[in-house]
Structure 1
Amino acid sequence: MLVFPNAKINIGLNIVEKRPDGFHNIESCFYPVGWSDALEITLAETFSFHADGIAIPGNAADNLCTKTYEMLRRDFNLPPVKIHLLKTVPIGAGLGGGSADAAFTIKALNQLFDLEISVEEQERYARLIGSDCAFFIRNKPMYCFEKGDRFDDIDIHIAGKWIAMVNPGIHISTVEAYSGVVAKRSTENLRTILREPIAEWKDRVRNDFEATLFKKHALLEEVKEKLYDLGAEYAAMSGSGSTLFGIFGAEQNVKQHFPDFRLWQGFLK
């Protein structure tokens, strides 16, 4: 079985408060995009995991796809499989690539072995893997809150617009991203703002990580400003970085302006 785990962007990211368990509560809109890995799962005599493409830190046993398989194997007595991952979504880039790989592993195993796991139960399993992993089960634009693992529908109208996503190759860990960030509730309601035309977003829809990470990595702010210079209606950093995205009213080839960076561009659905 071959599936294509896609990335997501954060449109707005408010860090609301620190939780007693050490995590943070957030508010954000998660939006799926077309930048994707390729994941193949086939029956095998013994379990194996192999990855090509972008190098993934750690060993096979630590990979989220392996951990996801082992979790479902224990509950459903699954036979051995071979998992092959072609990694093209950058790591540590605020795109949820690893979480998507895990979520699509759940969905692929559910289909491959006719496990009949409900969507809600798939989300429960996904939350055991990572905070934003559950988003990729339904894989549609959602308002996300708490740890980024609880969802409501959101009224947002950007389907058909063009998005350019630029990753300058800076790896930002979760620890680095959260260091120096002061949690606070936003004075504006993100869901309300995102119902308005995109022209209203620039000074009102913020990613709270930008204030500290732009000081540490000036290149990130330079990429954001370049996207605006190229005509983006809205530009921001996704998640905890380091990918910047620009949303355009029409197709716009920005690749020539970022020749040394990883880049994906296409229409939003």
Structure 2
Amino acid sequence: MINFPTCKINLGLHILRKRVDGYHDIETGMLELPFCDVLEALESDEASFSTSGLEIPGRGNLILDAERVFRKYQEIPVLSFHLHKMIPMGGGLGGGSSDAAFALKLLRDRYAPEIGNEHLKQMAAEIGSDCAFFIEGGLQFAEGRGEVLSPLQADLKNCYIVLVNAGIHVSTKEAYDGVVPDETRASLRTILEKPLSAWKDSLVNDFEESVFRKYPELAQLKNDIYAHGAVYAAMTGSGSTLFGIFRSEPKNIRWSQSVVYEKCLKI
């Protein structure tokens, strides 16, 4: 059993209000990108989890969390998982959430194909706010804490996405601490349904202001992306990965700051 967990970027992100459960209500566009990890599961006499590729820090493991959630609904044999990690962590690309969601899909497809996507999304929401998005992926509008999803229309066909990261770690708590929620603005969906050419002046990620104030080199990288012809550029999630959307494939982008990784993807 093998599949290929993808990543995502956020197309704008509004922090609306603090919730009584400690989370925040948000609204954001989420776009799945074909930059993937590799996840394999084998039936085994002994449960195990191993990794290769990028080193995964910490003790938490969302794939094993997904397995535990799935076992609440469906009996499955003992499994051995291996994850080849290629999506950088802690950069707002949702790689960990994707790994968990794709683990759920892998288990469903092998052991319980009768379980529909809506039920699988409910399982995913038990694991993390972004997990449910990756059950169907594509382009979706996310509300609530990120788990309330609906279709979104935007003309991004044949565009190129450039991802760039300077290796700066921005904790989610740090990012939220710098934001003042605001629910008085026009809906983000209204902005996202405008032509791509209109996004630059109206589509914002609320985390950018405070994160850029602390890490001005990220603001400079965003300027670099625009200087090389991007129609739209922004930070994804709580950072620190930046992205640019281009109508044609960009060549030889020169960065004013050192970068840890960059990648160009066609969508």
CA offset at residue 163 of structure 1? 0.6
Q: Deviations over 1:191-222 (max 9, x none)?
A: 12222221111110000000000011111111
Aligned partners of 2:22, 2:4: CA distance in 1, in Å?
32
Q: Distance in 1 between matches of 2:252 and 2:124?
A: 35
How far off is 1:71 after superposition? 2.1
Deviation at residue 157 of structure 1 after TM alignment? 0.9
Aligned match of 1:188 in 179, 186, 189?
186
1:238 and 1:46, CA in 2 relative to 1: closer, same or farther beyond 3 A? same
CA distance in 2, matches of 1:114, 1:34: 26
Report the AA paired with residue 54 of structure 1: L
Contact 1:73 1:79 in 2 (8 A): no
Q: What TM-score do you get using the length of structure 2 for normalisation?
A: 0.95
Alignment of 1:138-157 (within 5 A): 138-157=136-155
Deviation per CA, 1:69-121: give whole Å up to 9, x if none.
12222432211111111111111111111000000000001112234211111
Q: Which amino acid in 1 is paired with 2:139?
A: P
SS of aligned partner of 1:36? coil
Instruction: Give the alignment partner of residue 89 of structure 2, picking from 77, 88, 91.
Output: 91
Q: Structure 2 unaligned segments of length 5 or more: list them.
A: none
Structure 2: how far apart are the matches of 1:253 and 1:105?
Answer: 36
Confirm or deny: 8 A CA contact 1:155 1:191 kept in the other structure: no
Match of 1:169 in 2: 167
Question: In 2, Cα distance between the equivalents of 1:77 and 1:183?
Answer: 43
**3-state SS, counterpart of residue 157 of structure 1:** coil
Where does residue 31 of structure 1 map in the other structure?
31
Cα 1:173–1:102, aligned 2, differ >3 Å: closer, same or farther?
same
2:264 paired with 1:261: no
The secondary structure found in structure 2 opposite 1:231 is: coil
Provide the rounded CA distance (Å) in 2 between the counterparts of 1:156 and 1:96: 21
- Cα deviation code 1:138-178 (max 9, x no counterpart): 11211111101101111211121011011111121111111
Q: Which amino acid aligns with 2:96?
A: G
Task: Name the counterpart of 2:77.
Answer: 79
Question: 1:49 aligns to what SS in structure 2?
Answer: strand
Contact residue 228 and residue 253 of structure 2 kept, 8 A:
no
Asked if structure 2 preserves the Cα contact closer than 8 Å seen for 1:91 and 1:171, the reply is no
1:11 match: 11
Structure-to-structure mapping, 1:92-111, within 5 angstroms: 92-111=90-109
How many angstroms apart in 1 are the aligned matches of 2:35 and 2:111?
Answer: 27
- Secondary structure at the residue paired with 1:208? coil
Partner of 1:239: 237
Identical aligned residues as a percent: 41
Which stretch of structure 1 is more off in the superposition, 201-210 or 38-47?
Answer: 38-47
Specify whether residues 168 and 228 from structure 1 end up closer, same or farther in structure 2 by C-alpha distance, changes over 3 A only.
Answer: same
User: How many residues of Structure 1 are paired with residues of Structure 2 in the alignment?
Assistant: 266
Q: CA deviation at 1:260?
A: 3.7
SS in 1 for 2:73: helix
Measure how far apart 1:186 and its partner are: 5.0
Q: 1:127 aligns with which of 122, 125, 128?
A: 125
Distance in 1 (alpha carbons) for counterparts of 2:251 and 2:116: 40
Give the whole-Å Cα distance in 2 for the aligned partners of 1:239 and 1:253. 26
In 2 relative to 1, CA 15–71 (structure 1 residues): closer, same or farther, beyond 3 Å? Answer: same
The 5 A counterparts of 1:223-234 are 223-234=221-232
Instruction: Please give the TM-score of this superposition, normalised by the length of structure 1.
Output: 0.95
Q: Give the Cα separation in 1 of the matches to 2:55 and 2:119.
A: 31
